[in-house]
Each structure stands twice: as C-alpha cells, then as structure tokens.
Amino acid sequence: MKFQVPEQRTARPINASGGEFLENVQILRFIAAAMVLFRHLVRELSGPNFSIPMDNLLRFEWTVGVDIFFVTSGFLMYFLTNRHFAEKDYPFEFLRRRFVRIVPLYWLFTTLMLAITILIPGEVRQFDWSVGHIVSSYLFIPWQRAQGQVFPILGLGWTLNYEMLFYFAFTIALFFPRRTAIVGLVSAFLIAVAVGEFIPDSQVMVKFWTAPIILEFIGGVLLSMAFVGGLRLHLSTRIFLAALGVIASLVCVHFNLTDQRWRIVWGGIPAILLASSAILGPPPRQSGGQSGPLVRMMVFLGGASYALYLSHMFAIRPLTAVWKKLHLAGGLAYLGVGFIAALVLASAVYVYVEKPTLAALKRIIRPKVGVVA
C-alpha cells in the first residue's frame, strides 16, 4: 500500500499585521497547558500523598506540553513579526511588549510562592533562601539551588528562562532583513547547541541556555514560515502527523529515553509533529463561518493557557490537602476535580488579573508601531 502525503497551498501567503487571530494556535496552547496540568495531577497521585500508581498513565510523556509551548512560541514570534524585520524602532517595541505580556503574571506567582514559603514553613520542600536564588528567579536567570537542581522559586518558571533567551535572540534578529535574520538565528542556535555539548556542567547558566531544547523554538519559526508561505495539509496528512507524534512519545517512554539529554527527541520531535498537525489546517469553524461553543471555550482557555500554566499547582496543592483531610478515595475522581479546579482558577486569574493588568500596562506603555502581544 503506497502512502502519499497530500498537501495544498493557499493562493497567496498570509501576513499577520494588527491582530489576526489563529483559533488553531489558541486551542493548541490550551491542549499544551492541559497536558502539563494532567501530568502534575498524575504525579501527585503517584507521590507519597496518595501512592496510587498512575505515574506513567497510558505510557505517554505528558510534559511534551512544555515542548509544544516552545514550538508555538517560535511560531507566534515569526507569525506576528514577519513583515517588520529591519523596521526602525520595532525590535525594542517588540521586546517591551513581550515583557508586558510575560513578566507581571510571572512575578505575581513567584511572589505568591515566596509568601507561602514564609508564611507556611515546610510547605515548600528544600527551599533555597540564598539571595542569588531569589534575585535570579525574578530576572529569569538559571540558578542552581543549594540542592543541585536548576529551578527558580516557582519551579515551573524554568521554561520562562528559555522563553526570555528566545525573546532576546529574536529581538536581535529583528534588526536585520528577514532572510539574514532567520539564517542568523537558526545558525546561532545550532552553534550554541553544538558548543554546549563541550561546556562542563559546572557552568550552569551557559549549559542551561545551550541545551538542545532551544531548537524547539527554531522548529516553531520554521513551521511559521511554512504557514505564512501558504502551506496547508489535508486532513489525512494531519492525522498521520499527530499519530506519528504520539507514537514517537510512546516509543521513547518504552525505551526509557525521557531524561533531559534526550528531550529534543522525546519532546521536541513529537511537539513539532503535533503542532504541524494542529496548525497547518483550516480553522475549526462550522458552516456559516461561526465557531461552535466547544471551539469558543477552547479558544478562551487557550487565551488563559499562560495563567493555567503558572497557577495550576496553586489549585492542586490545596485540593490534595482537602482530599486527604476528608479521607476521600478515587484517583479518577481526584483527576477530574483537580482538572476542573485548575481551569476555574486559571480562568479567574485570566479574566480578573491578567487581562486588566495587560490593559493597564498597554495604556501606560504606548507602542510606536503596531505589535500584537
């Protein structure tokens, strides 16, 4: 049986200026955040609080959601800026807008974690009280804790340290014409990864920022270039890519290739395949051009995906405490309640904290050129 990979191209390339909205990307961002949430709920059940053996549920590596975030980040950066390379004042405006989008909410949850650690001693295990650790957590600098792990105060913030590296690198690229910028960006990341293989582990910051995982951003940029150029795939091809991504993760779990060194294999490749499947197709609209209620809900949750990523542990830990105190049983019930509780908390943070904060800061920091954040 011969397999063909059909594809189709739009009549003309797509450009993103102003605020073109991609439902597919928003839905993918929600799925990525939900995967991370699910992984942490399963890990909580498998840990000492419950000791329910669900740690490798379905034998899928759910933290691939983080890798999907990195791919979509690279995708969006190119999609939103592809018409503005070498444009005067744009690079600084781009960086300011990314800071407005990312920093306030992250600092809020970092401060909340610090406050919990102070007010409830023992709640956060193995906390590093060194000044360097605290300052580096707010400045997105990789820092090795006293116990040896390279995590900020808010453990999930390790991904933001990579995001900031990419934002700075992309800002530099924006000073140059598009072709030169992309060739330079891709080359710089490839060289960084190659050099990183020879960097000793004692050089924590350099070793962290030259890890192969940074190539996932480049994968997202290249995917975005294909999308903007008009590449679209038929449904059968997209299903094949999605299945291939899932199978790749299952194989890596089976052969125990899920440590950080192999992350570009078990995380990056499946993430790029899944992102390609989700993005390189038509938006999920019903006939008549209107999205259905399920799609609208997922698009909303995609908007809240950053809030969900940062806040979900603040829903899981109190739920665990209540579950144990009431002696409730049922691992699947815990998964369901925890999932809903995290979504509710994230939605509230998104509507009542993140969006008003962004609106206020955007009024204060008025852009000189149009940037979609």
pLDDT, position 125: 65
Report residues of the chain scoring pLDDT below 50. Answer: 1-20, 286-288, 369-373
pLDDT, position 337: 95
Distance between CA atoms of residues 107 and 161, nearest Å: 13
pLDDT, position 371: 46
pLDDT, position 3: 37
Distance between CA atoms of residues 41 and 369, nearest Å: 42
Cβ atoms of 69 and 32 within 8 Å: the answer is yes
> 278: closest CA among 318, 301, 312, 245?
245
Residue 150's beta-bridge partner residues?
A: 144
Domain boundaries, the chain: 31-60+289-365, 65-282
Q: Which two tokens stand for residue 135?
A: 């300052």
Cβ atoms of 283 and 298 within 8 Å: the answer is no
DSSP 285: P
pTM for this one? 0.89
